[in-house]
């Protein structure tokens, strides 16, 4: 486990998992939201976003944390990943966390609401096409995340 992609619905805990995994496995963590979103919450244009990701994946080791929904070009980092983690937590859990965290735009809430119906099928298809040899972990509860981290710590 040297090149890890973490995906999931908004407020699922991707960044928290990335930090914990980075500490346990000794991997550098990159929070993609900080790179992708420009001032005023404008998305990076697709061509530029693909180029940015190309630079990131050239490194030998990393945890790339982020799921940018309909704005993303996830296939770039999936092709380079050896491990993919999909946090598939419930709508209720993520919506509550997001509501407590900060005000969000309408497009964020649409993405969160429709994540299982729209994003999960698109992501699983992208994973099968672009990362057929990667190890995929689909974690659906905080307990599953805790168990996953404990397992990584043992290795």
Q: Which CATH number covers residue 73?
A: 3.40.50.300
155 occurs within a structural domain: no
What integer pLDDT is reported at residue 102 of this predicted model? 86
What integer pLDDT is reported at residue 154 of this predicted model? 85
What is the number of structural domains in the chain? Answer: 1
CA dist., res. 27 & res. 149, Å (int): 14
110 occurs within a structural domain: yes
Whether the full predicted model's pTM is greater than 0.85, yes or no, is: yes
Range of the domain at 120: 3-144
Q: Is the pLDDT of residue 78 over 90?
A: yes
94 occurs within a structural domain: yes
14 occurs within a structural domain: yes
* 106 in Cβ contact with 26 (< 8 Å): no
27 occurs within a structural domain: yes
Residue closest to 17 by CA, chosen among 141, 155, 103, 117: 141
Torsion, CA 31, CA 75, CA 107, CA 110, rounded to 10: -110
89 occurs within a structural domain: yes
154 occurs within a structural domain: no
Q: What digits encode the pLDDT tens for the residues 104-148?
A: 999 999 999 999 999 999 999 999 999 999 999 999 999 999 999
43 occurs within a structural domain: yes
């Amino acid at each position: 486990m040297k090149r890890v992609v973490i995906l999931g619905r908004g407020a699922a805990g991707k960044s928290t998992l990335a930090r914990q995994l980075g500490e346990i496995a000794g991997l550098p963590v990159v929070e993609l939201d900080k790179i992708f979103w420009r001032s005023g919450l404008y998305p990076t244009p697709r061509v530029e976003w693909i180029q940015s990701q190309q630079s990131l994946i050239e490194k030998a080791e990393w945890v790339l944390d982020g799921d940018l929904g309909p704005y993303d070009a996830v296939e770039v980092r999936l092709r380079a990943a050896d491990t993919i983690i999909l946090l598939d937590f419930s709508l209720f859990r993520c919506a509550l966390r997001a509501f407590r965290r900060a005000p969000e735009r309408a497009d964020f809430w649409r993405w969160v609401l429709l994540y299982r119906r729209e994003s999960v099928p698109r992501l699983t298809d992208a994973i099968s096409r672009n990362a057929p040899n990667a190890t995929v972990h689909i974690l659906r509860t905080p307990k599953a995340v805790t168990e996953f981290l404990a397992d990584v710590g043992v290795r």
